[in-house]
Chains A and B, each alone.
Chain A
Amino acid sequence: MRDVRVALAQIRPRLGDVAHNLATHLDYADRAVKADCNVVVFPEQSLTGYFLSDLVAEVAVPRDDDSLGPILDASRDIDIVFGFIERTADHRFVPAAACASGGRLLHVHQKVYLVTYGLFDEARDLAPGRHVRAYDTAFGRQAMLICEDLWHPTSAALAAADGADVILGLSSSPGRGVGGGASELGSAETWHALNRLYAQMLVCYMVHVNRVGFEDGVNFWGGSEVVAPDGTCLARAPNFEEALIVADLPDSRLRRQRTRLPLRRDENLELVSREFARIAGERRDGVDN
């Protein structure tokens, strides 16, 4: 990879107010440009807000919609990774993350794991994506994953296996769990552990951007962070407050850690894919396990 300076835009989107949120994106992108950043990353559904319910149908747009034009224009100065609801040609609504670069969409990731339990009800309104793919940028190979995707370690493992040196996680993670005398929200503890685990075990940079603000009483806790391949937290945004934080991701740090810990070199894709194929086949054929 090439050395890259990344900005984490920990914003508070307005629920269902795309015009307002678009203006926020342009403002943060401008600030990131002024901070000499190469890429700015926004949270999940950063253009739309999160708990949309029936608003999904109103805010969803095709990925080539004119309304995304201002972001594409701004991406001539800086890569912009943002979240929106994609309306597909066959009228499914899919939560998506897009990387705009050089005036066009470089890559779109559609969330593969919808979350439909507890306070979440995504599969009621949304359709899942079907692919996890890394993609090449001017600064090296990256992958985008969205929130619940990262609660399935296989998603991060796939992104790494596909060559991502930087994994960008876009989240709308609600804060919950204030019991048991813990000094950190339960959801925040889990995310910090996940980010560190992925960075260290997949030997890559982990960039996690979570939003802030409230929707119908639910708080989003922020705490966006960048974790280096050796597990060091390079930058962390405050909890609960809007923030733009910046971190440098040098290639040398990645090289040195991969030299120390060549886990990716030793990953046995043949073994993993063979065994997953066997297990999937047995499940399909109704073998109890």
Chain B
Amino acid sequence: MASTTETSLQSRASHGLRLDTALAEQVLVRFIADAISKFGFTRAVVATSGGIDSALTCALAARALGPKNVLALMLPYRTSNPASRGDAETLVEALGVESHVIDVSQAVDGYLDELDDLTTPVRRGNVMSRTRMIATYDQSEAFDALVVGTSNKTELLLGYGTLHGDMASAVNPIGDLYKTQVRQLASALDVPAAILDKPPSADLWHGQSDEDELGFTYESADEVLHLLVDEWHTPDEIVAGGYDADLVTEIRRRVQQTQFKRRPPVIAKLSDRTIDRDFRYPRDWGR
């Protein structure tokens, strides 16, 4: 067999990530309508940050359920970038979805003020994320809706999210789309340009940037993840194909180290039928 050349592996990776946006939209819109309605609901709540992931989720949900059945929930903290809020409002206007703003500063600070130790940015960020989760689930009850999640495949595989925080949802339409595919689909769905073009940020502290924090760009991460996960390449093959060895090692390490975040809590087995191990019923049981 001929060996894979550098150009062919890299071009194959970028080609493989190229999305048929019309087809993906069709599947995902139907998925949301099905997943919401089969549990007796007609509405969705999306925690909307002003970033591209929640913007795409909102746009898909609005198409699936009708804009009036989608609540875009804006949950700013006092240090949040005001531009984020502005972008979220632009999105709400463009989509015609319902919206609601709840400032989480008091809830977050009320907890943080109880702590004696000086919390780290990561701990503070996690508290914000989980406080937003509480607000989102509470509002889903008030709006008689299910929470539609906004974690993409890149974040999920890298474990770059807060467990029981932004990772919490009832249904997730974009969890099998890499970040660069989220961009393609968001662009096709006319998500406002300001949201498409800005650098990705969790906006948990001033000036935070996903790519600075991760130490690599989403473009390169997506190509390496696509080759590792979808194409079953070994790390050695990917390095031989022209990718930076440290990058490949780091991505592979992150995927392995954060596997627990993608699984339900582990249950100690005692009986003959343990939930999710040998008590195996589909979520859509009877639906």
Contacts and interface: CB of A to CB of B under 8 A. Distances in A.
Contacts of A54: 279-281
Interface stretch (A9-17, A127-135, A244-252, A267-275): A9-17
Contact of B282 (A51, A183, A185): A51
Nearest to B177: A178
Given A17-B286, A217-B31, A219-B31, A179 B280 contact: no
A54 B280 CA distance: 5
Contact of B281 (A55, A180, A184): A55
B285 interface: yes
A150 B194 CA distance: 49
A184 B23 contact: yes
A184 B24 CA distance: 10
Which among B17, B280, B283 has the highest number of chain A CB atoms within 10 Å? B280
Interface in A1-28: 14-17
B284 A179 contact: no
Chain A contact surface mostly: loop
Interface string B6-29: 000000000111111011101100
Contact of B24 (A53, A178, A213, A239): A178
A90 interface: no
A14 B34 CA distance: 12
A179 B18 contact: yes
B30 interface: yes
Contact of B283 (A52, A216, A219): A216
B35 interface: yes
B287 interface: yes
A219 B35 contact: no
Contacts of B16: 179-180
A118 to B, nearest CB: 11
Contacts of B23: 178, 182-185
A51 B26 CA distance: 22
9 contacts: A15-B284, A15-B286, A17-B287, A183-B20, A184-B23, A216-B284, A217-B171, A219-B27, A240-B30
Given A15-B286, A54-B280, A179-B230, 9 more contacts: A15-B284, A16-B286, A51-B284, A53-B280, A179-B16, A183-B22, A214-B30, A214-B35, A219-B30
